[in-house]
Amino acid sequence: MASNAPLARPEGRVGSSLARTAGLRARVRSQLRLAAFALRRYAAKSDRLLASMVGSLLLCGSALAAQADSVVFRDAWFRAPLPGASVTAAYCDVENRGHSAATLVRFDASAGGDLKVEMHETVRSQDADGLEMVRMRHLQEVEVSPGATVTLAPGGRHLMLFGAPQARNLTLQASFADGSAREVVFERRTEGSP
């Protein structure tokens, strides 16, 4: 026989146990909600942090590539070595079309071999008797400011080539302070040619 009477609330131990369980469930539910909220906030911060890090790396990458990519070499030539000689000089204009300074740190022969390249500057001074002294000073680097052109020319900054081949053209690799590099082809010119 079915009774329509409302169910009585359990009394005693069973009732207090159910009440404790319900309270525990409510606390767990509340803590889970807080944990979920904290995870969502952490994930949002992590996404922003990750996006910031990726953006920074991309900017660094573009800055690294910018030195070699923003520099243009024009009128690159080297003086034909005298017969039997293997030391000569090379010259060019180095134009920086970028928005930050580009620093040349060295030139190397692209094909390897015995060719050694040094960046030099001609320095003029007078001795005690008033005679002009000319000497070469080794340069560790050549900085090209944004929008500027540095000219490597006879009587000023230039490249010294030791072990230069008797070739028509010479390909050198210009290396920059940021590790980037680019190849530059120098054309041979004889004494007196423009």
pLDDT one-digit tens code per residue, 74-109: 999 999 988 888 899 999 999 999 999 999 999 998
**Phi and psi, residue 68, nearest 5°:** -70, -35
**Rounded-to-integer distance, Cα 107 and Cα 97, Å:** 20
**Rounded-to-integer distance, Cα 187 and Cα 174, Å:** 15
Task: Tell me the pairing of strands 71-79 and 181-189.
Answer: parallel
145-171 per-residue burial string, b: 16 or more CB within 10 A, e: under 16 = eeeeebebeeeebbbbbeebeeeeebe
Q: Which residue ranges of the chain lie beneath pLDDT 70?
A: 1-24, 28, 43-66, 112, 191-194
pTM of the model: 0.64
- Return the pLDDT at 11: 56
- Return the pLDDT at 160: 97
Q: 120 has which bridge partners? A: 138, 158
**Rounded-to-integer distance, Cα 173 and Cα 180, Å:** 10
Task: Tell me the pairing of strands 102-109 and 132-138.
Answer: unpaired
Fold of 71-189: Immunoglobulin-like (2.60.40)
- Return the pLDDT at 191: 67
